[in-house]
Amino acid sequence: MEEANFWIDNISNLGFHIVITLFLLVRLERKLEMLRNSIVELNKNISNSKGGF
């Protein structure tokens, strides 16, 4: 419930468009971090499989 109050307060203070933009940027940042971690893990797996031959 506290998170909902945070968003409602910010919408009234900053404006709907700014809050939506910030929300989407935070979500995008999390997704990009997950993608980066997956790429690093894939790179490790490829390196390990090349060394095994």
Task: Let me know if 2 is exposed, middle or buried by CB neighbors in 10 A (0-12, 13-18, 19+).
Answer: exposed
Predicted local confidence at residue 38, as pLDDT: 97
Calculate mean pLDDT across residues 2-24: 83
pTM of this prediction? Answer: 0.57
Distances (CA, A) of 38 to 14, 28, 35: 35, 15, 5
Question: How far is the first Cα of the chain from the last one, in angstroms, to the nearest whole number?
Answer: 55
What's the domain count of the chain?
1
Identify the domain containing residue 37 by its residue range: 2-51
